[in-house]
Amino acid sequence: MFLVSSAEHPYSCVIDTLKDGKIKFFNPRKLNDPRYDRLPLTIRVFLEAAIRNCDGFYTTESDVENILDWQQQQDKTEVPFTPARVLLQDFTGIPAMVDLAAMRDAVAKHGEDPSLINPKCPTDLIVDHSLQIDFSKCAIQNAPNPGGGESATSPRSVPSRLPSRGGSHCGGQQGSCGKAACSDPPAPSGARPAAVQQIENTPLLCPFHLKPVSDCESKRKSKECSLNRKVNVFPSVSKQWCSKAFKNVNVVPPDVGAVHQVNLEYLSRVVQVSDGVMYPDSVVGTDSHTTMINGLGILGWGVGGIESEAVMLGQPVSLTLPQVVGCKLVGSINPLSTSIDIVLGITKHLRQAAIAGRFVEFFGPGLSQLSAPDRTTIANMCPEYNATVSFFPIDQVTLKHFKKTNFSHEKLELMESYMKAIKLFRSYEEPCEDPQYSEVIEINLSSMVPHVSGPKRPQDRVAVSNMKADFQSCLDEKVGFKGFHISKEKQETRVAFLHCGQEYQLVHGSVVIAAVISCTNNCNPSVMLTAGLLAKKAVEAGLTVKPYIRTSLAPGSGMVTHYLNSSGVLPYFSQLGFQVIGYGCATCVGNTAPLPDAVVDAIKQGDLVTCGLLSGNRHFEGRLCDCVRANYLASPPLVVAYAIAGTVGIDFEKEPLGLSSSGKEVYLSDIWPSREEVQQTEEDTVISSVFKDLRGRMEIFCSFKDLPAPQSIENAHALLFLGDKVSTDHISPAGSIARASAAAKYLQSRRLTPREFNSYGARRGNDAVMTRGTFASIKLLNRFIGKPGPKTLHIPSGQTLDVFEAADRYQRDGVPLIILAGKEYGSGNSRDWVAKGPFLLGVRAVIAESFEKLHKSQLVGMGIMPLQFLPGQSADSLELSGKERFSIVLPESLSPSQHLTVKTSKGTSFSVTALFDSQIDVILFQHGGLLRFVARTFLGSSLQPGAAAAERAPSP
């Protein structure tokens, strides 16, 4: 893999050895350059990779010099980075494997060996990252799958699926109804249970009492449905197929965990050894929260599906040398604050510091108080404050963590020796060892107090002590990021409804969704154990959660279930309705099953602002459920607390959560576990056995077309005229498939019933569905229409159509398309369809006031031009109605950040900046996108090495 002889490698002079010369490594310190000791540790990782992979083509000696000269070259010079591995989740990973298979077909048609298309970089594919909640605690709540289906009152008889059980009541084992006692009369002796009417997508019912089965059964059935979807949608994708078809591909089997957790618990290596050469572990992944791995001292970040495919095929990641912000942590943590409070507090500070696109590297005396799970939690939130990475160097805390995760003593010693040899190991006792950063931000940990975030955006933090008053102000304020503008006379509205034969009332602020999620910013064991111990104390005090609230527990991996069960708190979670529904992305990505019809009707009748609470990282309005308008991110124990209270309109310090079985008022302080209790429980349960369990489960399973070069765009129409902050949620298909959508119409034309639609995530590899789901968000605000919805104006006819239908008509007429937008276009999660969808709709360019950096790269990777209005200009300042026709002249020779002229049919013109950051971006665009570039490279029709190196050389 590596060239290590002095005759072959330009940096053979820095090769060093460990373990009596048996293991070699490239030691940048042997360059004897004083600049190395002043580099941030993230830049040192870049330098080592550049030295090791210096081949004179993708990586040159000038790249090494530029990285070493980071202090002068930051934000100026483009360099390549070759990560150690690639991480794929199902939504983007499975289509990536399909893309590689299609590329093999294309190569074979040209008479070449299709095995040329093979991952060169080690690749891990997590096939069961996402999970649809089909079964949870209540049969009534589980209506047919989201987006459509028959009424929940339309039963069908499925006696063949009923388990065989006897006895007069439901036991406490798997398959039981989960109730302590059932009042229904027992079946007659010897009688055979009658056929039970069961609703589609509901849990199995007890044949004697028509009660829901236990959470274990719910988890099993949800998993079965999820796997069936993926088999139906991707019949050729399996562990056996990927392993046999492609080299260097490892498929992580189902029911292991979400991509973030598996990366932390199983795939991380800290150091890699290949062909006798040791080097730091690093990763790029098709999920924005790949940054979580930075908490363990492993450099990694999220990229789009297209970029990840390029890395798989041997292309380095190309990026401008970043500024690195040093985040100095000081002070002591408040004993009442959870790790999520620390996470959200740091997130707020860093968001206010305007560090978009920069690297963050943590240091300082306060760092020793943060455990490894604390650090990964903070690193996970990196996309929320728009940094590229948030890096925690390896130190004694990290090593202590690895002792619990089945790293052998020998490997730990080797790891420590290697990291110290190349100065990637940190001790904070000597401030003189601190690198020189672009900027230093100091954060005092003692200032962190419990918060939630909402009701519509993660950056809008609310102190828990002020939650009641803040929600009231949200009702009063005008409609906006915080306000709902409910008139005073309607703020006291109460709507009664029946659920399971009992009457309840909903008001503004009523909680109707409560989801405990531990896949990303709440994977920290201490936070989940705090929630579990709180649930235990709540049950012991006689508190309950109202049955109409859709509760769920979605652990990020089996490890979480393991320690919750080992600590004895899992049954208490279940008794409050928080039952394990499986492992994967669920509520965060809109995969919550519909609320009970009676609840939905009550919300609509009173025009109520009801609430969802979740311990995830995404909660934009309408994302959890289209009828739930206020959603809050909270730590797991607070999710449980608000679920018990049943409302966000509560002051926990002054008002009780509820009454005990004896009628005594119970306050949150009465059941909140102490930090010492949580820490002791964590020490007793979160031990190496959980990692042994994970490894054991792992071991059990163990059309490309040649298009012409880009040409000038002539007489294009604007498909959409958008405002500010259009996120990837607005662009990329996500969540359920609405029954009236273009995708639904297509599926119905294929003779599928609404209950068979599944979600966009489940149909990620079906371009016909995904293209129709692009810009299908009910929250998309298109200025052509003037109100939210997935509609646009077909300008020639003046008709209002679905976005897909309008785009299809334009394409049939041979009309190119552009999109007009405002500031921060493409913010949010990384998704490959956020660029693939617009490309397939016929979009050739997006003209916006500003772009989210990652999305800009995704557009380039699909051959779509990201064009930015000049500073101070916008569609409004240029008096554009959007109904003009636009022509964009492309010169014969494009260059990064070049100004282009846009002419309109009104006879006016204006200039835009083509956001090609580097010559590599220009080359990719000229090839029609990244996939076409890579395929042509394999076919020998790409640039020659010398030409490529010349193209990448900086301008004189």
pLDDT tens, position by position, 930-956: 777 766 666 654 333 333 333 333 332
The pairs formed by 660-666 with CB atoms below 8 angstroms and a separation of 24 or more are 660/541, 660/542, 660/543, 661/541, 661/542, 662/542, 666/538, 666/541, 666/542, 666/543
Instruction: Give the mean pLDDT of the chain.
Output: 79
Residues in the chain: 956
Return d(Cα 441, Cα 427) in angstroms, integer. 19
Q: What are phi and psi of 133, to 5 degrees?
A: -85, 100
Please give the model's pTM, rounded to 2 decimal places. 0.60
Please state at what angle helix 853-861 crosses helix 919-926, rounded to 10 degrees. Answer: 40
Mean pLDDT, range 328-352, rounded to an integer: 84
pLDDT tens, position by position, 716-770: 999 999 999 898 888 988 777 888 888 888 888 888 888 788 777 777 767 888 8
CATH superfamily of 451-673: Aconitase, domain 3 (3.30.499.10)
pLDDT band for 125, please (50, 70, 90 cuts).
confident
For the record, the structure tokens of 354 come out as: 């305007």
Residue 832 has pLDDT above 70, yes or no: no
Structure-model confidence comparison of residues 150 and 429, the more confident one: 429
Whether the bond between 555 and the residue before it is cis, its omega within 30 degrees of 0, is no
pLDDT score, position 778:
85
pLDDT band for 136, please (50, 70, 90 cuts).
low
Using an 8 Å Cβ cutoff, are 205 and 176 in contact?
no
Measuring CA to CA, which residue among 218, 200, 168, 360 is closest to residue 755?
200
Measuring CA to CA, which residue among 866, 713, 886 is closest to residue 795?
886
pLDDT score, position 688:
54
Give the distance between the most distant pair of CA atoms in the chain: 93
pLDDT score, position 556:
74
pLDDT tens, position by position, 45-89: 999 999 999 988 889 999 999 999 999 999 999 999 999 999 887
Using an 8 Å Cβ cutoff, are 24 and 4 in contact?
yes
Using an 8 Å Cβ cutoff, are 99 and 209 in contact?
no
The two domains 85-130+230-447 and 451-673 share their CATH topology (first three levels equal): yes
pLDDT band for 799, please (50, 70, 90 cuts).
very high
Instruction: State the amino acid at position 771 in one-letter form.
Output: T
- H or E, element range at 157: strand 156-157
Measuring CA to CA, which residue among 221, 262, 223 is closest to residue 126?
262
Mean pLDDT, range 227-255, rounded to an integer: 58
Q: Which residues of 327-365 are buried (b: 16+ CB within 10 A; e: fewer)?
A: bbbebebbeebbbbbbbbbbbbbbbebebebbbbbbbbe
Mean pLDDT, range 654-675, rounded to an integer: 91
Q: How far is CA 675 from CA 33, 378, 447, 682, in A?
A: 47, 19, 17, 10
pLDDT band for 200, please (50, 70, 90 cuts).
very low
For the record, the structure tokens of 348 come out as: 């707020």
Return d(Cα 754, Cα 148) in angstroms, integer. 5
Q: Which CATH number fits domain 85-130+230-447: 1.10.287.3510, 3.40.50.300, 1.10.150.120, 3.30.499.10?
A: 3.30.499.10
User: At which residue do the structure tokens 């060996």 appear?
Assistant: 113
pLDDT tens, position by position, 464-503: 999 999 999 999 999 988 899 999 999 999 999 999 999 9
pLDDT score, position 81:
95
Measuring CA to CA, which residue among 39, 97, 48 is closest to residue 241?
97
Using an 8 Å Cβ cutoff, are 14 and 26 in contact?
yes
pLDDT score, position 294:
95
Q: What is the DSSP string of 510-579?
A: BEEEEEEE-SSTT--HHHHHHHHHHHHHHHHTT----TTSEEEEE-SBHHHHHHHHHTT-HHHHHHTT--
Return d(Cα 96, Cα 340) in angstroms, integer. 33
Measuring CA to CA, which residue among 452, 617, 451, 637 is closest to residue 527?
637
CATH superfamily of 713-732+774-940: Aconitase, domain 4 (3.20.19.10)
Using an 8 Å Cβ cutoff, are 412 and 317 in contact?
no
pLDDT score, position 226:
56
For the record, the structure tokens of 859 come out as: 């557009």
pLDDT tens, position by position, 149-193: 333 333 333 223 223 323 333 333 333 333 333 333 333 333 333
Return d(Cα 807, Cα 800) in angstroms, integer. 12
- H or E, element range at 300: strand 299-302
- The domain spans of the chain are 85-130+230-447, 451-673, 713-732+774-940
Structure-model confidence comparison of residues 161 and 249, the more confident one: 249
- Looking at residue 725, the DSSP 8-state letter turns out to be -
CA-based angle 587:589:594, to the nearest 5? 50
Residue 148 has pLDDT above 70, yes or no: no
pLDDT score, position 29:
96
